[in-house]
């Protein structure tokens, strides 16, 4: 049995009871909604986490890389949506996944891509399930619902050999800019309307649209209507982070992933201290990118070693490659953070922080012990 106190720092800790609670809450939310929950595994990248997220759901997942798709297929998941704009150059790995029996959903917003995919699908002897990607306000990728391009692309996907028009898909990533419940509800409704509008257009044109898919953690948590939708994709809800808690997706006590770190220096002359978790241990995703939040916690919030209590107002105000510089409002609580003592850092953005590690040290709750090691599938 490994005690938390014997782990080398920095390392990544996953609180299994918080994870299970977060997963169950989202599963329950969609249990009788008519909408299938297809958890996005891009934050967790772990089959062990996926099994918890999939409990009570239909079994399909969302991924952000083909490496994730291959990994989850290796672990028996057979229904996977690869929710990043596909390019025909990635066809060999896609065809290999389909040939081994995976029901693989692809997305595009480009007619030229559809035409190229059709040629390559025929050459490979496979049929590709393709969803039309919509931009419901994020301004990243996707067509605008209501425009003629939706039907043009839908018709191409329906008629071109080797392709199957599977539906429409959007992601309200702009919900991350929301500040307040009403704001999130409005973005959730725009997300829903985008998908439903495009589905209606396709069906009015005599085209099929079996899947009407939306998803982001804030909109999944606070949306008021799922009318016309068939599928919800969200992911960060499993772990949570300080950013999500500040925009109201969950409480601080729900955050399931943290970085265990050691205090390595005191700077009384600067009212600060140093920990051995810097930019490589926490990522450089800093909260100041999010104006209007309750508190700027920099790169992370400093908790007690059992992760149950915040240490004053202490946060990671600045990071160097291997140093995190702690700051606080008012006098720094040096007595609570002696050199050599350990803290848990709640990450600002867990997807980026978790990606700095090969795996999770799993605890049942609080201060441990470590009950398992779960690996992650990083890379591409």
Q: How far is the CB of 63 from a copy of itself (least distance, A)?
A: 10
For a copy of itself, the binding residue among 96, 207, 280, 290 (CB under 8 A) is: 280
Would you state the structure tokens that stand for residue 9, as one six-digit string? 């720092």
Residue choice 266, 317, 334, 372 for contact with a copy of itself (CB under 8 A): 266
Of 223 and 279, nearer to a copy of itself (C-beta) is: 279
Stretch that binds a copy of itself, among 71-79, 87-95, 178-186, 214-222 (CB under 8 A): 87-95
Distance, in Å, from the CA atom of 184 to the CA atom of 174, rounded to the nearest integer, reads 9
Residue 233 engages a copy of itself in binding (rule: CB under 8 A): no
112 touches a copy of itself (CB under 8 A): yes
For residues 363 and 369, the answer to whether their CB atoms sit within 8 Å is yes
Contact 70, 97 (CB under 8 A): yes
Site for a copy of itself in 335-354 (CB under 8 A): 339-340, 351-352
Give the rounded distance of the alpha carbon of 164 from its chain centre: 27
Contacting a copy of itself (CB under 8 A), which of 190, 285, 302, 343?
285
Site for a copy of itself in 164-183 (CB under 8 A): 173
Q: Is residue 375 a contact point for a copy of itself (CB under 8 A)? A: no
Select 230 or 240, whichever has its Cβ closest to a copy of itself.
Answer: 240
Q: Does 119 bind a copy of itself (CB under 8 A)?
A: no
H or E element in which residue 15 lies: strand 11-15
Tokens of 82: 């690869």
* Cα 353 to Cα 344: distance, rounded to the nearest angstrom: 13
- Reduced DSSP (H G I as helix, E B as strand, rest coil) percent helix, strand, coil of the chain, to 5: 35, 25, 40
Rule CB under 8 A: say whether 113 interacts with a copy of itself: yes
Indicate whether 55 belongs to the interface with a copy of itself (CB under 8 A). Answer: no
- Cβ within 8 Å of residue 362, ≥6 positions away: 13, 14, 16, 48, 370, 371, 372, 373, 374
**Which is nearer to a copy of itself, 4 or 35 (by Cβ)?**
4
In angstroms, what is the minimal distance from the CB of 380 to a copy of itself?
6
The CA-based diameter of the chain, rounded to the nearest angstrom, is 72
Q: Nearest 5°: CA angle at 29, between 26 and 33?
A: 130
Q: Cα–Cα distance between 128 and 292 in angstroms, integer?
A: 43
Tokens of 5: 């106190």
Size of the site for a copy of itself (CB under 8 A): 57
Q: Which is nearer to a copy of itself, 184 or 350 (CB)?
A: 350
Contact set with a copy of itself (CB under 8 A):
8-11, 42, 64-66, 84-90, 93, 109-110, 112-113, 116, 139-141, 173, 262-267, 270, 274, 276, 279-281, 283-286, 320-323, 325, 339-340, 351-352, 355-358, 378-380
């Amino acid at each position: 049995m490994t005690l938390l106190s014997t782990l080398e720092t920095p390392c990544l800790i996953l609180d299994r009871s918080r994870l299970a609670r977060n997963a169950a809450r989202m599963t329950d939310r969609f249990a009788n909604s008519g909408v299938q929950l297809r958890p996005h595994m891009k934050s967790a990248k772990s089959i062990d986490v996926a099994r918890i997220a999939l409990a009570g759901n239909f079994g399909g997942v969302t991924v952000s890389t083909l490496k994730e798709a291959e990994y989850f297929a290796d672990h028996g998941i057979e229904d996977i949506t690869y929710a990043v704009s596909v390019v025909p150059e990635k066809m060999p790995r896609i065809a290999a996944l389909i040939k081994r029996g995976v029901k693989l959903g692809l997305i595009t917003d480009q007619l030229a891509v559809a035409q190229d995919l059709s040629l390559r699908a025929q050459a490979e002897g496979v049929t590709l399930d393709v969803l039309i990607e919509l931009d419901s306000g994020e301004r990243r990728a996707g067509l605008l619902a209501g425009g003629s391009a939706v039907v043009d692309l839908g018709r191409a996907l329906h008629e071109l050999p080797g392709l199957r028009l599977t539906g429409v898909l959007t992601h309200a990533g702009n919900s991350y800019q929301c500040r307040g419940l009403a704001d999130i509800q409005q973005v959730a409704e725009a997300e829903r309307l985008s998908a439903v509008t495009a589905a209606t257009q396709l069906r009015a044109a005599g085209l099929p649209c079996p899947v009407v898919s939306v998803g982001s953690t804030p909109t999944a948590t606070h949306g008021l209507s799922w009318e016309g939708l068939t599928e919800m994709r969200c992911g960060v809800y499993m772990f949570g982070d300080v950013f999500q808690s500040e925009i109201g997706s969950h409480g601080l006590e729900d955050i399931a992933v943290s970085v265990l770190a050691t205090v390595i220096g005191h700077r009384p002359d600067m009212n600060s201290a140093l920990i051995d978790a810097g930019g490589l241990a926490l990522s450089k995703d800093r909260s100041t990118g999010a104006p209007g939040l309750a508190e700027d916690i920099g790169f992370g919030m400093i908790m007690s070693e059992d992760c149950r209590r915040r240490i004053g107002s202490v946060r990671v105000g600045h990071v160097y490659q291997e140093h995190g510089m702690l700051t606080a409002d008012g006098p720094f609580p040096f007595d609570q953070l002696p050199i050599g003592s350990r803290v848990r850092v709640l990450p600002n953005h867990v997807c980026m922080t978790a990606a700095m590690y090969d795996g999770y040290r799993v605890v049942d709750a609080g201060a441990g012990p470590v009950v398992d090691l779960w690996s992650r599938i990083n890379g591409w």
